[in-house]
Amino acid sequence: MRIIQIFAFVAALCVSTLVRAQDESQAVNRSQYASREIAPDPSVNNCTNQPHSLAQMKGNLYRWVGGPGGGYTGFVLTSPEGALVVDAGGTCNARWLLDEIKTQLKVPVKYVILSHAHFDHIGGAQVFQQAGATVISQKNALEPIIGDKLPTAVPDRVFENQMKLTFGGENAILYYVGPSHSNSMTLVYFPTYKALQCVDVCEAGRALPFNDFPDFYYEGFIATLDWVIKQDVDTINTGHGMGTKEDQQVARDYMINLHDQVLALVRKGEEWDHLYRDVKFTDEQKKYPNYDANHILNILGMYRYVSEHHRGVW
């Protein structure tokens, strides 16, 4: 009997070690933030101006669309044990999505993955957490959630580089490549479906990147796109639409060309008033639907980045 008990203990220890090897995450002591100050939640208003949908992509992989103006999207992976949801899209959207998953998929929400610590995507995660879901983020997301008083969930678990979730016969792998659009960007890969959630770094179709590159890390941005392009992926959810690997190659080439142009002009000694007039765009780029709105802002964002990372002879 003693020998059997020892073997059982060793077997349990091996299983425990295997689980930890697949899950490098750490629990967050949320009690220490129980009385944290929270900013007013703007996403609880104008709920009627939010068209919603939850549609099947393939097998147990679904896609939600909602948030302000219906302009946000994330994947939902369902299983008999519950559903995994990427991002929340605001409190109004989260309330609708929680009810829709219960009604349509007939399972509770088990996990919520925060793509990065920007409120427009992760606001509303507290709705799922209060219903019993485990909220997970890359570890760097915790500080801005607390420090910026974001009205969202404090994560239950955080990971550093990689985390695998296996539940109900389904798998999702969370990756952190590096700082890109924020320093907490989580890429969520669904290997069974060759699908990837790559929020705000990846592009949906042919378009210029958003605005003036807020919370931007150039080297990590390019490294993240390089990583995405190498993956065995057919479908990419960008948080605002759907894209392809070809779209990401085009986006990568654009970012590198913009960086190199701006850097060369700065090294020539051009100031902003002249520099932005000398950056060239292709005829194809000038046809992008957001070219007029974003091309000057893109130059401004890259100019700011290059200026902060360029010293010259002094």
- Print the domain residue range for 121: 24-199
Q: Are 185 and 273 in contact (CB under 8 A)?
A: no
Residue 152 belongs to some domain of the structure:
yes
Which secondary structure element, helix H or strand E, spans residue 78, and what is its range? strand 72-79
Q: Identify the pLDDT of residue 300.
A: 98
Amino acid 22: pLDDT: 56
The pLDDT tens digits for 107-162 are 999 999 999 999 999 999 999 999 999 999 999 999 999 999 999 999 999 999 99
Q: What tens digit of pLDDT does each residue of 260-277 get?
A: 999 999 999 999 999 999
Domain identity same for 166 and 271: no
d(CA 223, CA 132): 35
Domain membership of residue 246 (yes or no) is no
Do 29 and 153 fall into the same domain?
A: yes
Question: What does 264-311 look like in DSSP terms, one character per residue?
Answer: HHHHTT--HHHHHHH----TTGGGSTTHHHHHHHHHHHHHHHHHHT--
Q: What's this model's pTM, rounded to 2 decimal places? A: 0.91
Domain for residue 78, yes or no? yes
Residue 164 lies in a domain: yes
Can you give the pLDDT at residue 48?
80
The alpha-helical segments, DSSP class H, found in 43-182 are 91-100, 119-122, 125-130, 142-147
Evaluate whether residue 66 is within a structural domain. Answer: yes
Residue 6 has pLDDT above 80, yes or no: no
Tokens of 64: 């939600």
Is there a contact between 61 and 77 (Cβ–Cβ < 8 Å)? yes
Give yes or no for residue 19 having a pLDDT over 90: no
In a domain, 8, yes or no: no
Provide the CATH number for the domain around residue 37. Answer: 3.60.15.10
- Shared-domain flag, residues 178 and 299: no
Do both 191 and 264 map to the same domain?
no
**Is residue 271 one of the residues assigned to a domain?**
yes
Distance CA 214, CA 108 (A): 35
Same domain, 178 and 113: yes
Cα 93 to its chain centre, rounded Å, is 17
Q: For 103, which DSSP code?
A: I
Q: Identify whether 314 is part of a domain.
A: no
